[in-house]
Each structure stands twice: as C-alpha cells, then as structure tokens.
Amino acid sequence: MINNLFIFIVALFMVIKGATLATKYAALLAEGYRLSKYTVGFIIVAVISILPETFISINAALEGIPSFGLGMLFGSNIADLTLVFAVIIIFAGRGLKVESKILKNHAVYPFILLLPLVLGFDGRYSRLEGIALIIAGAVFYYVALKNGIDGTIPLNNGGGRYRSFLMLLFSMAILLAGAHFTVTSATSLANYFGVSPILIGMLIVGLGTTMPELFFSLKSVKKRDDSLAVGDILGTVLADATIVVGILALISPFSFPQKIIYITGMFMVTASFVLFRFMRSGRILSRKEAYMLVAFWLVFVLVEFIVNK
C-alpha cells in the first residue's frame, strides 16, 4: 500500500509539474500570434491545460476503467468553476473583472455543458456521440478564435518560439508518464481502501488536474490580466466536457454508472449557471461570491461521498 501511495503522489506531481510547464510554454508560443489575451487564455492555454485530463482519461480507458476518466473530468470541471475561481479571487484580494465580451460570446456556454449529459443520459457514449461532442467543442473554439484576433499581444521572436516548442514537447512527455502511473496507482489504492476508483478520480485526481490553470490564473490576476485567467478556466472546462469526453468515446465506446450524469454532471452544469449569474452581477466576481462558490464545492464533495460510500 505504501509503495502505491508513493507512486500515486509522485505520478500526480509529474502530472501537475508537466502541465504547469506546458501551460507556461504554450502561452509563450501564443505570443507569436496576434491574439487577444482572453483568446490566448481560452484557446491556446486552455487546450494545453486539458492535457493532464486527456492523458489520464485515455490511460483509464486503456486500463478498462473509462468511468474513472469520466468522473475525473466532471469532478475537475466542478472544481474549476467553483473552487479555482474562489481561490483566485481570495488570493487577488479584489473582485475579478469580467469583460462584457465574455458574457456576450458565452451566453450559450452552460447549455453546451448540457450536451454530454443529454448524450450520456442512457449511461453510454457511442462513437457517433463522441464525434458529436468533438464537433461541438471544435465549433465553439473556432468561433472564439475567429472573434479573438485583435493584435493586442506583440509578435514574439522566432528563436524564442523554437525553445518554447521544445520545452512544450518535454513537458508533455512528463505529463504522459505521470498520467499512466496516476491511473494504475489510484486504482490499486481504491481497491486497498475499498472505495470506488471513480471517487478517487473525481475528487483527488480531478482536483490535482486543476493545478495548471490555477497557477496560470494566479499569475495572470497578479498582473491584472483578469481576462487571461477567466479565459483559461472557462476554456479548460468546455474542452474537458466536450472534446476530451468525445475522444474517449471515439477511442472506445463505453458504459458508465448513470449517477455520474445524474449527480456529478448536474452539479457541473449547475455550477456553470451559478458562476455566470455571479459574473453578470456588476461584471465582477466578488469575494462574497467566492465564498459561496467554495460552499457549493463542499456540498458537491459531501454528496459524492454519501453516494459513493
């Protein structure tokens, strides 16, 4: 048990470190293109931020436990939409400004998060449903990219781009190795303690995979780049719920406990509606609203423990 616990901790550290480095160098690469800060956060950085979830989910599918990956994805999204936003606001010591463009372009955002719930209502994802999820996510990203070119970030030099690209590949290699051992060791720990692997994936691994966007967003708000922080988190959540779930289903159609949709999925969608309601209240996320988001996440954790006991 001690060996598995040690491997799990080291593997999760590799995932977090690899993803953090990948996010950093993806942002540097993105500076070579004329994109707004929000677009860099939502598309470029967010795509890199989903790498830990993607690698872990694929490894879980290959190990024959795709529901572990699905639970982790939804659990990670709930943490992003509540706990991560709350930590950023509390750390900043001020309200988090929300651009009107974000609210305008994302009126349908919570409804897109409903798509994986509707398609998975029967407790199974087919390849056709996986393709539909990937297309939905890709279309949303395309629209965001198309509307986000405005030249507010200067061009980077070519030499810097080459170094950033090589470091990005290196960090992805660390991520891939960490993802493999995270799944195998987490499954062994779940069997030892007699708990559902889904619960470990949902709460422990899911929380660990939010670290890259948390660290990146903390640095962004410190520089008062609030749009970069908001874009990164929202982009990560959307990609997890559509593209990553779609990739899982495309690789191998799978069945899963329906309570993941009924409980975890509904918590995810509800969290998005609550968050956007807060964003529209004065276009600032306040500290009071941050504490309410923390309370929401704690309720989610309590419910999952009771359901998966």
What are the structural domains of the chain? Answer: 2-307 (1.20.1420.30)
Quote the tokens at residue 23.
């996010």
Residues 6 or more apart from 163 whose CB is under 8 A from it? none
More confidently predicted of 170 and 298? 298
Q: Is the pLDDT of residue 152 over 80?
A: no
CA–CA distance from 30 to each of 59, 164, 226 (Å)? 28, 10, 17
Average pLDDT of span 233-248: 89
Highest mean pLDDT among 70-84, 175-189, 229-243: 70-84
Q: What is the pLDDT of residues 18-29, one digit of tens each?
A: 777 877 777 676
Tokens 């051992």 -> residue? 181
Element at 52 (helix H, strand E): helix 51-62
Average pLDDT of span 120-138: 93
194 exposed, middle or buried (CB, 10 Å; 0-12, 13-18, 19+)? exposed
pLDDT tier, 129 (very low <50, low <70, confident <90, very high otherwise): very high
pLDDT at position 32: 62
Q: Is the pLDDT of residue 43 over 70?
A: no
More confidently predicted of 271 and 283? 271
Q: Is the pLDDT of residue 158 over 60?
A: no
Angle at 9 between CA 8 and CA 11, to 5 degrees: 65
- The per-type count for the chain, helices as H runs and strands as E runs, is 18, 4
Quote the tokens at residue 203.
């709460």
Instruction: Please state, rounded to an integer, the average pLDDT across all residues of the chain.
Output: 81
pTM greater than 0.85 (yes/no): no
Q: Is the pLDDT of residue 268 over 90?
A: yes
pLDDT tier, 303 (very low <50, low <70, confident <90, very high otherwise): very high
Q: To the nearest whole percent, how much of the chain has pLDDT over 70? A: 84
Average pLDDT of span 72-87: 93
pLDDT tier, 298 (very low <50, low <70, confident <90, very high otherwise): very high
Average pLDDT of span 2-20: 78
pLDDT at position 42: 64
Q: Is the pLDDT of residue 41 over 90?
A: no
Q: Is the pLDDT of residue 155 over 80?
A: no
pLDDT at position 125: 94
Average pLDDT of span 278-300: 90
